[in-house]
Structure 1
């Protein structure tokens, strides 16, 4: 698997030891989450929009209403994904930090046509809730027409990961220091009061697993 690109925007300048240059690290960050933040400039004003995503080997896919300003961009955008794994509580406040995994993706978005939308929506749906694409109703032609799907290349991306204990083991101040881990897991489903079917297996088996796997 090839390394990530190294451009002026993705080159690691600070905390280089936390940088990752392999594509496997990018895919691991993408696989571990399903919410990203899309950074755009709209009417000369910066705007950062949270949204769900899907991805394949070449692109990250974002979707929304055709009326969404953030999805009409024809210039470079920035997509970020961040996972917090714990608080790093050091001997000094200066050395406090966060264990995290993050990725930044730069690219000019491409709006998908109607023939490509279904494939991208399947990718997105199966990333968020594996098994749901074949279980739920597929989008109608009218719903597809009301939906914009952006494909942003994964060619220009940057990944950083911070793990481990505080970096101030040589600080003589005698206080507790360490990491307060943070994890998230799926809880039991809450059934829609109008639903008559039992919870399907592909949903119930995720209970207790770490989000989003």
Structure 2
């Protein structure tokens, strides 16, 4: 499927730090691919609520899921405007002044009205997309959801057209007067996320199979 371009709107137009904004759809895809956790924001009973949750995405659609009893999802299902934010920290920027300390990052905020995924085949596919994004290889390896589990799960779909993307890379942006002062170190401390060794569930029986390749391969 053809990727839809990002459509600038009043709320998706970056006004602070415009030099870090990008309108390229490939940059949004990069952030979505690299992230695992997003933050779903919605106003519930007049107060803003922001909750972390896993997500998955495919083509022009972002999927999030949760309990059918969750007030945030019920509010979103009712047609409220929502936002979904993904942030990746790539480094801490140490400057020669406190004011210019910063962070290297990649971030995206998606806006819109979420759609409740109701059609059974689409709902099952959306859950597969989320599972494979978070834990690749698990959908075909483990048991599929039961009807009871599906009934207790809500899946929301959000179109990926109204979004803002910001990226910061590189060294600190110190004032020219501070650059000549060699008494203070300046630079970037990179941040990297790595997978550790798989830790087996203590309830595994003694003859249980070893961690499969789709798990071991990530470490």
User: TM-score by structure 2 length?
Assistant: 0.92
Report the Cα distance in structure 1 between the residues aligned to 2:17 and 2:29, rounded to whole angstroms.
21
Count of paired positions: 207
2:153 alignment partner in structure 1 = 147
After the TM superposition, which residues 1-213 of structure 1 pair with which residues of structure 2 at under 5 Å, given as runs?
3-72=5-74, 73=76, 74-115=79-120, 116-168=122-174, 170=176, 171=178, 172-174=180-182, 175-195=184-204, 196-207=208-219
Question: What stretches of structure 1 move > 6 A for 4+ residues in a row?
Answer: none
1:6 is displaced (CA, Å) by 0.8
Note the aligned Cα RMSD (angstroms). Answer: 1.1
1:13 is displaced (CA, Å) by 1.4
Equivalent position SS for 1:203 = helix
Report the Cα distance in structure 2 between the residues aligned to 1:169 and 1:184, rounded to whole angstroms.
31
Consecutive unaligned residues in structure 2, runs of 5 or more: none
Report the Cα distance in structure 1 between the residues aligned to 2:126 and 2:71, rounded to whole angstroms.
20
Distance verdict in 2 for CA 1:155–1:26, change over 3 Å: same
Equivalent position SS for 1:134 = coil
- For residues 26-83 of structure 1, what are the alpha-carbon distances to aligned partners after superposition, in whole Å with 9 as ceiling and x for unaligned? 0100000110000100000110000000001111100000000110121110100001
User: TM-score by structure 1 length?
Assistant: 0.94
Distance verdict in 2 for CA 1:128–1:5, change over 3 Å: same
1:11 is displaced (CA, Å) by 1.1
Consecutive unaligned residues in structure 1, runs of 5 or more: 208-213
- For residues 102-135 of structure 1, what are the alpha-carbon distances to aligned partners after superposition, in whole Å with 9 as ceiling and x for unaligned? 0000010111114121000000000011110000
